[in-house]
């Protein structure tokens, strides 16, 4: 596996293009877990060259949102990426992607204002901007994102459609632990008791999905589960529609850690 830290090194590693070899891109912020492994494997199955980015993007963190405390373990991430079959790992410094004087931003309106956007203003501006930069730098045929971040997935898809970016966005199912907790790099910040409390998120979503199938209100059912777990502080719990799908989405704080999750209620899996 090659490692690139600058745009120049990235471009050199991707040249010359191999005829008929499609490039797959997996944008990440590191702290790799089995959810990332699923993304890498999906790219490996479909693409001749797999590129992953490892970049804790400061532009998608607001004040007090934990940029400095975000989990980082580059040495371990390099080992995981190589083990799973990543061909090229791009690990830029912030100044490499946002040099002095940088002042151009991408904003996907409407979609960026609900749910996460309501609680994290400016977050999706940072996501959209860095994704577009990576699409231009890597020129992938496909890019891979997890369904756990369903709003982000929808925003990236709209970015690609609206700006005619020649990349196919692939969605990979949420990976969960044996107890149902959606895997997240932030899970390492949970202590033992908080990890038990966090299981209420997936239980709430499961209860909401079951209520929906029975013709009842999924939000009411999910709220009842969360109300029984004092260690969870919900921020939002509501039905949203992304890419023709109805999902029940939630965000909550468990201790000082903020977690998100969702479950599909209606619609085909695009």
Q: Which of 33, 36, 123, 212 is catalytic?
A: 36
Residue 36 among the catalytic residues: yes
Concatenated DSSP letters of the chain: -EEE-SHHHHHHHH-SPPTT--EEEEEE-S---HHHHHHHHHHHHH-SEEEEEE---GGG--TTS-TTTS---HHHHHHHHHHHT-SEEE---HHHHS-TT-------TTGGGSTHHHHSTTHHHHHHHHHHHHHHHH--SEEEEEGGGHHHHHHHHHHHHHTT---EEEEEPPPB-TTSPBP-GGGGG--HHHHHHHHHHHHHHHHHHHHHHTTS-HHHHHHHHHHT-TTEEEEEEEEEEETTEEEEEEEEEETTEEEEEEEEEES---
Give catalytic residues, as residue numbers.
Answer: 36
């Amino acid at each position: 596996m090659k490692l690139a830290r600058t745009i120049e090194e990235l471009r050199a590693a991707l040249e010359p293009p191999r005829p008929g070899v499609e490039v797959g891109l997996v944008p990440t912020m590191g702290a790799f877990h089995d959810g990332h492994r699923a993304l890498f494997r999906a790219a490996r199955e479909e693409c001749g060259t797999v590129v992953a980015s490892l970049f804790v993007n400061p532009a998608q963190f607001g004040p007090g949102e934990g940029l400095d405390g975000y989990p980082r373990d580059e040495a371990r991430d390099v080992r995981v990426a190589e083990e799973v079959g990543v061909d090229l790992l791009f690990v830029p410094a912030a100044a490499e992607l946002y040099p002095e004087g940088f002042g151009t931003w991408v904003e996907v309106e409407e979609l960026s204002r609900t749910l996460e956007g309501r609680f994290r203003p400016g977050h999706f501006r940072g996501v959209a901007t860095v994704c577009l930069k990576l699409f231009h730098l890597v020129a992938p045929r496909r890019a891979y994102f997890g369904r756990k971040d369903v709003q982000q997935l929808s925003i990236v898809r709209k970015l690609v459609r609206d700006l005619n970016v020649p990349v196919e966005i692939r969605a990979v199912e949420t990976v969960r632990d044996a107890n149902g907790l959606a895997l997240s790099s932030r899970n390492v910040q949970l202590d033992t008791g908080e990890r038990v409390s966090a299981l209420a998120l997936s239980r709430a979503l499961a209860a909401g999905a079951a209520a929906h199938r029975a013709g009842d209100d999924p939000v009411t059912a999910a709220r009842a589960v969360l109300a029984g777990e004092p260690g969870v502080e919900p921020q939002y719990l509501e039905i949203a529609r992304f890419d023709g799908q109805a999902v029940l989405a939630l965000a909550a704080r468990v201790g000082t850690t903020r977690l998100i999750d969702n479950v599909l209620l209606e619609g085909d899996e695009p």
